[in-house]
Amino acid sequence: MKKLENKTAIITGAASGMGKAMAQLFAAEGANVIVADLKQNEIDEVVNAITKSGGKAHGVVCNVANETDIKNMIDTAIAKYNTLDVLVNNAGVMDDFFPVDQVSNELWNRVMSINVNGPFYACRLAVPIMLKQGSGSIINIASIGGLYGSRAGAVYTTSKHALVGLTKNIGFMYAQQGIRCNAIAPGGVNTNIGKGMNPNQFGYGRCTSGMASMPRMGEADEIAKTALFLACNDSSFVNGTVLTADGGWVAY
């Protein structure tokens, strides 16, 4: 039997990078996948690839900073597949490495709305569904930037620390009611998250000063396999924690 047979999984930011790899792997393991992202054409490409491979997927346009979009995403999963077993809050943005004295209100609000508000909205709606069915796994994609202070700018670092805190709180609160909530803290991964980035030179210089100690870059499918472990029953005793996947970078 496949690891996610007959389970329904929502993955945000699923049209590219780690989210796309998760969507494809989860579908291959039997899940009904809700592919949520910003652009319909990119969503359709992922959905079509999954269905052509014999998997089940449905696309939803969703800006995770918009609470109405999040509600539509959750409602679509229930309407289409009747259950919600796995929620992966993967969508996120960087902050161009800006130090705090140069962070504008616009940048602060944008990063926090996507990296923190979005997962909060989704968790708030998903938990009652999971409570009713007595089971569920929530996976928040944090970062080693949520564990340490020097991997990104002030806003991104704050947002990922907040996401780690939300993860631990949810994991503990509902541990006796069948819901697990964990986070993955990736190190450097080859994705398109840096596309269009215009880094602050001072902040970038400070944050990359330890890059030489990074053993290697990771690949999206490596993070997807980590997410699969947390999504399925293989990790039944893993809850309220952060699984670091960085090739050993922070061990230095």
DSSP assignment of 54-112, as one string? T-EEEEEE--TT-HHHHHHHHHHHHHHHS---EEEE------TT--GGG--HHHHHHHH
- Percentage of the chain beyond pLDDT 90 is 89
Element (H, E) at 225: helix 220-231
Least confident of 7-16, 110-119, 144-153: 144-153
> Which pLDDT value is given to residue 144?
94
Retrieve residue 195's tokens.
Answer: 């596309």
What does the mean pLDDT of the chain come to?
96
> Which pLDDT value is given to residue 148?
93
Domain boundaries, the chain: 8-244
Q: How many residues does the chain have?
A: 252
User: Among residues 75, 154, 64, which one has the least CA distance to residue 116?
Assistant: 64
Residues 74-84 have pLDDT tens digits of 999 999 999 99
Whether 174 is catalytic: no
Q: How confident is the model at residue 192 (pLDDT cuts 50, 70, 90)?
A: confident
Q: How confident is the model at residue 191 (pLDDT cuts 50, 70, 90)?
A: confident
Say what the pTM is.
Answer: 0.96
Give burial (CB, 10 Å; 0-12/13-18/19+) of 196.
Answer: exposed
Taking 80 as the threshold, does the pLDDT of residue 201 lie above it?
Answer: yes
> Which pLDDT value is given to residue 194?
67
- Among candidate residues 156, 174, 204, 252, the one labeled active-site is 156
Taking 90 as the threshold, does the pLDDT of residue 131 lie above it?
Answer: yes
Q: How far apart are CA 252 and CA 246, in angstroms?
A: 11
> Which pLDDT value is given to residue 42?
98
CATH number for the domain whose boundaries are 8-244: 3.40.50.720
Taking 90 as the threshold, does the pLDDT of residue 9 lie above it?
Answer: yes
